A and B are shown apart, each in its own frame.
Chain A
Amino acid sequence: MAIKRALTLTILLLLFLEGCGSPRDKATKEIKTIQSWAAAARMTAEAYVAGAAPKPYASDTMAATAQALEKEMSAIQSSIPDEPRAHIAAQTESLRRQVEETKAAIDASDRARVQQQMGQLSSVEDALAQILKGYGDTTR
């Protein structure tokens, strides 16, 4: 009985602490997730250009990434405080557009354009890394 009560209390305490994560923590988490999608999109584009990933896969991955970024946009609206929200949302929207353009280039089998897009994706990644730095997080 005592063990059960202690376990319940521990879970409630941990849930409380997790729920109380500072807005800064939440923003950091969101940015890292967006950064992860950006990095995955760039890796896929690189693999496609190098002939290491087939076209249907590369195209599907870009579509899935664009969709995930759309979901992230609503997460940003609900969980990030006013001050950094606009900046993060703008970068996310820019990333989503780049991903869609990369998908269009892949669908058109235009490897040169995909290569150009890789540079754009990399720029958005850098911009996100800068925002993260502002939060004191230098890990990628």
Chain B
Amino acid sequence: MKKIFEVALGIVTSIGGFLEIGSLTTAAQAGALFGFQLIWAIALGGLCIIFLVEMSGRFAAVSHHTIPAAIRERFGFNFFVAPMIGFILVTLLVLAAEIGGVCIALELVTGIAFQWWALPVAFLIWLLIWKGTFSVIEKGASLLGLVTLCFVVGAYWLYPPWNDVATGLVPSLPAKDEARYWFIAVSILGASITPYLMFFYSSGAIEDKWDESYLGTNRAVAGLGMSFGSAISMAVLVVSAIVFMPRGIQVDHYDQVALILTPAFGYWGFILFAASLGIACFGAAQEISLEIAYFIAQAFGWNWGEDQKPRDAARFSLVYTVTIFAGALLVLVGIDPLKLTIFSMALTAATLPLSIMPFLILMNDKRYVGEHRNGIISNVVVTLIIILACVLAVVTIPLQIFGG
């Protein structure tokens, strides 16, 4: 009974915690510009993150190692420096985008410019991490994040042409604006395959003291939680395609996305959007801040753990403190949160091999995972998707920057 409850809670928190600024924004832009044509990118990203999250949980449960610590141990510190710097820089941009998302949600409901909210939001994130426990951080925001299911209800209420939606699952070439199409496809992949998510999941497994008896739970949470999570992203795309595309709205600004749910729910659609954006980004910002601290502390062999008192893990606490306020600073100087989000997602895709390839090697190393090594299917699927995302990102990012 306890196991069933754990599985159910794990799935629910995965669903509630899935949507964040990247998946919401990229799906909304994709729907507004290309209708249902980019649903395949969400499906592909979802498939990849199911495999990766399952692997990271399996790795933690069997080896009792966190991923960063194992990468450093297996490859040596010199090798580890490049992935570490790449991961931290890109994840910091993603954190800034998430803080920006919370600030935008507050701007929508109060009318006060988003920059003014950067420091109060950063302080609240910091305070909850400083005072809270891992369970509160992980489950609190995720349970509240179930509000994002309103996109699924909205999609259903707007009567989408299901045949066209299903056709979108098959990759196809766009009739116009190819560069933008591929750039958004890359951003969707970057938003779906976020390395911080799998690192956070594995650190959580260690914090929750998982062992091999949790492998079934892990498989169910990864498979069902991430599938339903991806379904919410698809619902955002579907709603956007129905609401914005016929009107010719391209989603160049957050103000434009705010009305995405009003055709389905009226005034409550506006409130539900602001709540979904605010809660989803707040939860993600907490997890990302913690993940950067986990990553650095595990890499350097410092004391770490959200359940420890800050004075017992002083350097760990210092890292998340500095990280949160650094992220808030980027919002404070007024960088456009929408552009920051889209580019940080594309950069995430470009740097995926740095984070994922060493992990894949670990997942095939008997010394760490013994008989629970990866099968050929998971190796091939993840490698192909990562390489595809990286190549597309390397080609399309310069196009977007220099080609306008």
Contacts and interface: CB of A to CB of B under 8 A. Distances in A.
Contact of B249 (A10, A40, A59): A40
A53 interface: yes
A52 B269 contact: yes
A84 interface: no
B255 A60 contact: yes
Q: Classify the interface of chain A: helix, strand, loop or mixed.
A: helix
Contacts of B179: 14, 18
A65 B253 CA distance: 9
A39 interface: yes
A68 interface: yes
Interface in B244-266: 246-250, 252-253, 255-256, 258-259, 262, 266
B266 A50 contact: yes
A35 B248 contact: yes
Contacts of A21: 403
A54 to B, nearest CB: 7
A56 B248 contact: no
A65 B109 CA distance: 18
Interface of A: 7, 10-11, 14-15, 18-19, 21, 32-33, 35-37, 39-40, 42-44, 47, 50-54, 56-57, 59-61, 64-65, 68, 125, 139-140
Interface stretch (B11-19, B39-47, B286-294, B391-399): B391-399
Nearest to A14: B399
B284 interface: no
Interface in B356-397: 391, 394-395
B258 A68 contact: no
Contacts of B176: 139
B248 A43 contact: no
B259 A36 contact: no
B159 interface: no
A57 to B, nearest CB: 6
Nearest to B400: A18
Given A18-B179, A39-B249, A47-B270, A53 B398 contact: no
A32 B176 CA distance: 13
A68 B107 CA distance: 18
A54 B270 contact: yes
Interface residues on B, range: 20 to 34
B107 A140 contact: no
B110 interface: yes
Nearest to B111: A56
A71 B176 CA distance: 25
Given A11-B398, A14-B395, A68-B252, A53 B111 contact: no
Contacts of B109: 54, 57
Contact of A19 (B252, B394, B395, B403): B403
Contact of A36 (B110, B249, B402): B249
A10 B395 contact: yes
Nearest to B108: A57
A140 B248 contact: yes
Given A40-B256, A50-B266, 13 more contacts: A14-B179, A14-B403, A18-B399, A18-B402, A21-B403, A36-B256, A39-B248, A40-B253, A44-B255, A56-B111, A60-B107, A60-B255, A140-B246
B267 interface: yes
Looking at B246, B262, B394, which has the most chain A CB atoms within 10 Å of its CB? B262
B225 to A, nearest CB: 33
Contacts of B402: 15, 18-19
A52 B111 contact: no
B211 to A, nearest CB: 42
Contact of A7 (B247, B255, B259, B395): B395
A47 to B, nearest CB: 5
Contact of B111 (A36, A47, A59): A59
A52 B266 contact: yes
Contacts of B399: 11, 14-15, 18
A98 to B, nearest CB: 17
A11 B182 CA distance: 13
A50 B108 CA distance: 18
B174 to A, nearest CB: 12
